[in-house]
Chains A and B, each alone.
Chain A
Amino acid sequence: MGLKQNLHNLKEKYKGKKIAPLFNGFHTFLYLPNETTHGGTHVKAADDLKRTMNTVIMALIPCLLFGMFNAGYQHHLATGEVEKVTSFFSGNFWNLSNLWIGALKVLPLVIVSYVVGLAIEFVFCIIKGHEIEEGYLVTGMLVPLIVPVDLPLWMLAVAVAFGVVIGKEVFGGTGMNILNPALTIRAFLFFAYPTWMSGDKVWVHDAVNRAGTADAISGETMLGSLAQNLTPSYSVSDMFFGFIPGSVGETSTLLILLGALFLIFTKIGNWRIMVSAVFGALMMGYIFNTVVDAGVITESSKFYGLMSLESWKHLIIGGFAFGVVYMATDPVTASQTNKGKWIYGFLIGFVSIMIRVFNPAYPEGVMLAILLMNVFAPTIDHYVVQGNVKKRLKRLKAKTA
């Protein structure tokens, strides 16, 4: 019978032992288990949690690949080795030397993120004796995409350990956490090592090393320049296609949009959250635009740069699109009711732009907005569910009255 039978024998051998969850974790990666239904429904739908998580990872792969090319491209652009791209399929961007630099920098981030995170998951699963849950598969892929490319690996390892233990395992593991683990990791990095998470040196590979030397290069993110009331030198198509500095995977709005469509089509990502978040962001942006147009805020104000930015441009710069599509929609930490999801998404969009404008020192608002709304999601759900409960009480009252 070969491999299948041998693995089955091993599984039986390890049953009930400490090592069982670890073995099963790998075994179920190769084979869908031979478990059958008992009690309850006798047949089950095809999807399991692995398939769900895998779908999200598939939606992230284009962003990862683009991120690798972009890491190399931004480096070469800053050092003057390539010209600025003019079209999406430009050879200045899609070439092997860009990919080489990018892969060299990004793949270690991916590996460290998965190795550290999964190791902690395994340890907790073995201690608690439950099966290895798939939650970290997505988190582990998200983390490298939302950090600057030059982030030292040991910082990433420390942050991942913190995020997985404090952000997830202390609450009881996958499905029980309150805060999005990937964002917890990023927030930890931001507050523990702020110099590595903001400024104009961290977004382009090698910029930190060369600082102060004759070859110094730099690259400011769109948000960074706008927050300093500078006019960034990127066109709208650069922003949309993603040829701008930023965290590894967040720059290409085009690919994020395709990922979003894929997630919505497969019914894995929640369209309600995405749509309402975009709507919330446009609304806040529009309010700021109106304030600027009314002359309340003038060019001398430090808020002018971001406040005067047309509201729709907020959607294609910074991490907004990435956060809304891949992280706000995390079902565990988002609102769990459909009505709640509308409110939750809207507030994420709204608060993201507000933080961007009013926090020029660190203008990436979407991370904090999502974490904030993660905390409020149970409250939103509570009121939505209470609405249902009240409706039922009202029906009873109408009857007895």
Chain B
Amino acid sequence: MSKDIRIKKGLDIKLVGEANKVTAELSLGSVFAVKPDDFHGVIPKILAKEGTEVKAGEALFYNKSDERILFPSPVSGKVSEIVRGARRKVLEIKITTNGTQEYKDFGKVDVNSMSGEEVKNHLFNTGCWPFIKQRPYDVVANPNQTPKAIFVSGYNSAPLAADYDYVLSGKEAELQAALTALTKLTDGKVHVSVGSSNSPLKSMSGVEVHSVSGPHPVGNVSTQIAQVNPINKGEVVWVVAPQDLVVIGELLLTGKFNITRTVALTGSKINEPKYVTVVAGAQISDVVKDNITNDNTRIISGNVLSGLQVDENGFIGYYDNQITAIPEGDDYELFGWNKPVFNKISTSRALTFSWLNPKKKYDLNTNTNGEHRAFVVTGSYEEVFPLDIYPLQLLKACMYKDLDEMEGLGAYEIAPEDFALTEFICVSKQPHQKIIREGLDLMMKELG
């Protein structure tokens, strides 16, 4: 029996600049980069030194803690620069293409006849393992553990998110192949959630399909896991994003590692919000070329809640399928703290009037709308937080580093992105996602 996932608590942040459902093909850019920081907790060991010629799919580096986990180059070309930061930390591995894509051939495989171990090894060799992330801790999955279930969220409820129903259409064969491969990796079930009856994921076989409805964060995997099969201490759940399933599927079917994504260009500073096909790691300026109003603009790889700020010379994140551009809010506002507010979102009604018109789309900027304070207000986070967890108490436990309490309060079940909404509405402007990330890192270090 598939179980429907329905939540009431949450908040849809409606912004202007939703992508129109047209897709433009972009020519392959010239410089690409893979940023090891996109893979949280991974310490890279470089395989392809500066000057090496690589094909698309060839490994650039591996994870220091497990050398089987390879991180492939998204494009073919020459490793032109390895950018290092403080203490020689690898920040970016830049690859300059010669204008054409050459793929390393991994060979076609028949997933149905493969064993779990064979699937695993194939994913290692082809550099597809980093697509599999795990709960707890929200990091690249540890292949030595067996997950009790694998979750794929086929519905993205984040602000202005790419519509999976649109970007996945026509990819049914790849999705099915990848899902079949995933079923071999777990003793439990593979759970797939769909947001509407048009979803290409609706008709997948061998998996359990759930239809989801409700406000953001219903599309977050943690929300769905909590409703279907909550994580207990000592258990592991793996998570794969649908756009990564397409890459895995194509690799299995054709033998090519083709990490081309349909990326949504969104936000009020994008002139013509639409979808474009882009290879992961592309330079932002190539992607948004002539389509952005770049005066005092914040460019974000990802969505406005948990995306990463990038500049125009930066690169799109490895997992991201969205670029958002919104105005910076670095200006003062006369009596902004007490005058009635009509052009910003708020969950209270303290002379803020977004409750009058729940359908209105807002053009929010990056102003914090107030200064950082100690936690004062209570009870408001719970209204946008659908998990059976006390958010304030868990945040505080993370701040004072009480591992027992974090464990007891449900830190195994969450990812930083689950605290994006509480961070958004926080009156004290506390950095919730950062607090949670640091808490999870501490747990990972101390408890393994």
Residues of A within 8 A of B (CB): 4, 7-8, 24, 28-52, 54-55, 131, 133-135, 172-176, 265-268, 270, 272, 331-332, 334, 336-338, 341, 381, 385, 388-389, 391-393, 395-396, 399
- What 3 pairs across the A-B complex have the smallest Cβ distances? A48-B370, A32-B336, A175-B374
Residues of B within 8 A of A (CB): 13, 15, 230, 232-234, 298, 300, 304-307, 309, 324, 326, 328-338, 341, 344-352, 354, 364-380, 382, 388-390, 392-393, 408-410, 420, 423-429, 431-434
Do residues B366 and A36 form an inter-chain contact, with CB atoms below 8 A? yes
Do residues A52 and B350 form an inter-chain contact, with CB atoms below 8 A? yes
Given contact pairs A8-B332, A41-B423, A265-B349, A36 touches B382 in the complex (Cβ within 8 A): no
27 CB < 8 A contacts A-B? A30-B335, A32-B367, A35-B371, A39-B431, A41-B304, A41-B423, A42-B309, A43-B366, A44-B368, A45-B344, A45-B347, A45-B369, A46-B369, A47-B350, A49-B371, A49-B427, A50-B337, A174-B374, A174-B376, A175-B375, A270-B379, A331-B377, A332-B376, A336-B379, A381-B393, A389-B408, A392-B232
Do residues B424 and A267 form an inter-chain contact, with CB atoms below 8 A? no
In the complex, what's the smallest C-beta–C-beta distance from B267 to chain A, in angstroms? Answer: 10
Q: Which residues of chain A are within 8 angstroms of B392 by Cβ–Cβ distance? A: 336
Given contact pairs A47-B352, A51-B337, A51-B351, A336 touches B367 in the complex (Cβ within 8 A): no
In the complex, what's the smallest C-beta–C-beta distance from A327 to chain B, in angstroms? Answer: 15
Do residues A396 and B233 form an inter-chain contact, with CB atoms below 8 A? yes
Q: Which residues of chain A are within 8 angstroms of B427 by Cβ–Cβ distance? A: 47-49, 51-52
Given contact pairs A51-B350, A175-B376, A43 touches B336 in the complex (Cβ within 8 A): no
- Of listed B335, B347, B376, residue having the most chain A CB within 10 A: B376
Q: Which residues of chain A are within 8 angstroms of B367 by Cβ–Cβ distance? A: 32, 34-37, 44
Q: Which residues of chain B are within 8 angstroms of A332 by Cβ–Cβ distance? A: 376
Task: Please report the C-alpha to C-alpha distance between residue A134 and residue B344 in the assembled complex, in whole angstroms.
Answer: 22
- Main SS of chain B's interface residues? loop
Q: Which residue of A lies closest to B389 (CB)?
A: A388
Given contact pairs A31-B333, A31-B334, A43-B304, A176 touches B232 in the complex (Cβ within 8 A): no
Q: Which residues of chain A are within 8 angstroms of B13 by Cβ–Cβ distance? A: 43
Q: Which residues of chain A are within 8 angstroms of B307 by Cβ–Cβ distance? A: 42
Q: Which residues of chain B are within 8 angstroms of A37 by Cβ–Cβ distance? A: 366-368
In the complex, what's the smallest C-beta–C-beta distance from B29 to chain A, in angstroms? Answer: 25
- Of listed B337, B345, B347, residue having the most chain A CB within 10 A: B337
Task: Please report the C-alpha to C-alpha distance between residue A47 and residue B410 in the assembled complex, in whole angstroms.
Answer: 28
Q: Which residues of chain B are within 8 angstroms of A46 by Cβ–Cβ distance? A: 341, 344-346, 352, 354, 369
Q: Which residue of A lies closest to B235 (CB)?
A: A399
Do residues A47 and B375 form an inter-chain contact, with CB atoms below 8 A? no
Task: Please report the C-alpha to C-alpha distance between residue A66 and residue B337 in the assembled complex, in whole angstroms.
Answer: 27
